[in-house]
Amino acid sequence: MRSLSVPASGEQPILANLPVPTPGAGEVLLRVRAAALNPLDNHIVAGALEQMFEHRYPLVLGRDASGVVEAVGDGVGDVTVGDEVLGHVLFEPPFQAGTVAEYAVVSARTVVSKPAGLDHVTAAALPLAGGAARLVVDAINPQPGQVVLVNGASGGVGRYVVQLLSQLGLIVVATGAPGDAERLRELGATDVVDFTAGSTAEQVRSVHPDGVDALINLAGYTLEEVPLDAVRSGGVVSTTTQVPDADALAARQLSGGGIMASPTRDLIAPLAEQAAKGELHIDVYRVLPLDQAADGLAELAAGRARGKIVVDLSL
C-alpha cells in the first residue's frame, strides 16, 4: 500500500509502499478514503515524543481517517466489513500505525459509523481536533455568561472550541490574524483579538478589565507565549500544549492544567451527529492528494493552515 511514512528515527517522511497491516484483537482495518493531518504529525517527525512513547519504524503518519471497513479483528462486533466509518489512532504506544495510507488499522474503541450527511473528507477532519476541543471545553467547567479566551482559535482545534463554547452560551474571545476575524465571528466568537498587533493579554484587558474567567490555550509552547495575564485571579486554564504547568498556574492563583487528547467513540459520535445536522461546522482548509501530503505537513509547521488539511486518497 502507498503511505506517507517516516523510514527511521531522525529521517523525513517519504511516500513508500508498505505491506497492508492486519487488524489484531479489538482493531479495525480501514480502506482509507480520506485522512486528516494534525500538528501532532510534525511533532512525531521531529522525534519530540520518542522519550515518551516507543516508536517503531517505518512509522506511518496520520491519526484520523474516514473510510470503509475492510476487515475486523477478534472481539469486534460493532462494525462489519463494508461499513462506512470514521476512526482515530489512539495516543498510545507503540507509535507506528497511521492513517495517511491506503489502508489503516485503528482501535475499534474509536470507530464511529459515518453519518450519511458527511462525506469522507469532511468526516476525516473531525476525530482528533473535534475530540480535543470537547475535552478542553469540558475541562474548564463552562457556565453560561462566562468570558473565555481561546488562544490559537484559528487552527483546527480552535474552530471547534469556539463553536462549542458559543453553543453553551459563553462569551468567546478568540485570537487570530486579521484574515481570521470574519470566520471566527461566524463560528460564534464575540470578539477577535489580533495576536499580530501586540500583547494579547493587554488587548483582552482593554475590553475585559477584570480579566477573563478562563483561558483555553491551543498555541504557545513557552510561558511567554501564553496570555496568562488576561485571566482573572481564581480563573481556570485548559491547555493542549502542556504550558503552563501546575506551578506556573499556582503562582498566578489559577487552576487547571494540560489535556492529552485521545478521543474514543463516546466522544466522537455526538460530534459527528452534530456535524451531519449542520450544528457543528467542519472547516476544511485544504484538500491534497497523497503525493502532496508532505506539503500539508509543511503548511501546518509554518502556521499557515486556517482549518483542517485533509488528504483525499481518491485524488
Residue 11, amino acid: E
3-class DSSP state for residue 73? coil
Cα separation of the two ends of the chain: 15
pLDDT at 262: 86
Task: Report the C-alpha gap between 248 and 123 in whole angstroms.
Answer: 37
What is the pLDDT at residue 303?
Answer: 84
The CATH number that applies at residue 180 is 3.40.50.720
Do both 91 and 146 map to the same domain?
no
Q: Is the CB of residue 23 less than 8 Å from the CB of residue 73?
A: yes
Could you list the residue range(s) of the whole structural domain that residue 290 is in? 2-126+282-312
In total, how many domains does the chain have?
2
Q: Both 118 and 13 in a single domain?
A: yes
pLDDT at 70: 98
pLDDT score of 309: 96
27 in Cβ contact with 73 (< 8 Å): yes
Greatest Cα pair distance, the chain, in angstroms, is 58
- Residue 75 lies inside a defined structural domain of this protein: yes
Instruction: Say if residue 196 is in the same domain as residue 77.
Output: no
- Check whether residue 304 and residue 253 sit in a common domain: no
Return the DSSP state at 126: S
Query: Is 36 in a helix, a strand, or coil?
Result: strand
Query: Could you report the average pLDDT of every consecutive run of 10 residues in the chain (315 residues)?
Result: 97 98 98 97 94 95 98 96 97 96 98 97 97 97 97 95 98 96 97 96 97 96 95 97 93 94 93 97 96 96 89 96
| Same-domain check for residues 184 and 67 | no
**DSSP assignment, residue 292?**
G
Domain shared by 172 and 241, yes or no: yes
The CATH number covering residue 77 comes to 3.90.180.10
274 within some domain: no
Beta-bridged to residue 88, according to DSSP, are: 64
Q: Residue 229 is placed in which grid cell?
A: 495575564
- The per-residue pLDDT for 244 is 94
Same domain, 141 and 219: yes
What is the C-alpha separation between 244 and 221, in angstroms, rounded? 8
Residue 307: the pLDDT is: 86
In 73-180, alpha helices (H): 120-124, 127-139, 156-167
Residues 179 and 90 in one domain: no
Q: Phi, psi (5° rounding) for residue 203?
A: -65, -40
